[in-house]
Amino acid sequence: MGKTIEQIATQRGHQISHIIDVNNAQDLQTITKGDTDVVIEFTQPESAFENVKYCVENQIPIVCGTTGWLEKRPTIEQICQEKKSAFFYASNYSIGVNIFFRINQILAKMMNPYAQYEVSIEEIHHTEKKDAPSGTAITLAEGIIENLERKKGWKLAENTVDQITITALREPNVAGTHTVFYESEIDTIEIKHIAHSRQGFALGAVLAAEWLKDKQGVFGMNDLLGF
């Protein structure tokens, strides 16, 4: 993901000030708001919080796409407000996926009167993805819960009456496939998004970084896209 972001950012005329991975993680402490306009953070759940925390504490705008650490997100948002910094988070930066999110919300609202339809979510990702379910699947579940009164939460591969079942599959060379099912005894309705590569995610992250520069506050894709 980092290599794809670097390629797209360079193609769009940006200069990369730092590239940090597991081999030089300590170099994060050398980044300042004087030499870097925006940081784009795609790492792992165990490192994301400290990476983001350093940036918001030092008023370096940061775009984060790492999932699996969001129980600590309120802390980051509080620090961001206190330091008058800028934090942009999305579970998925693809323009197509964010349109899919909106369609998912609309469909859930339409299905609210029809209790005979049981809703579930399936997500498929590459075998290197560590967290499950994906942040995208969780965002889909949250969009359903906001609009479908009979669902109060979600469970991973568990079938309960008031919870949305999410099935997480890991297969080689899958960029990301998400499907929402509404099933009854009579028929099935489904909506699906299939990512053909990581290009869409990386481009969206770069667009978010361009948009975030010189801003203050906590933002997401709805702000970028004007939804």
Active site residues: 125, 129
Q: What is the DSSP letter of 15?
A: P
8 Å CB contact between 142 and 162? no
For residue 184, the tally of other CB atoms under 10 A from its CB is 12
Interacting residues of 108 by C-beta distance below 8 A, sequence separation 6+? 119, 143, 144, 146, 147, 148
8 Å CB contact between 81 and 128? no
Query: What are the b/e assignments for 63-101, b being 16+ CB within 10 Å?
Result: bbbbbbbbeebeebeebbeebebbbbbbbbbbbebbebb
Beta bridge mates, 123: 168, 178
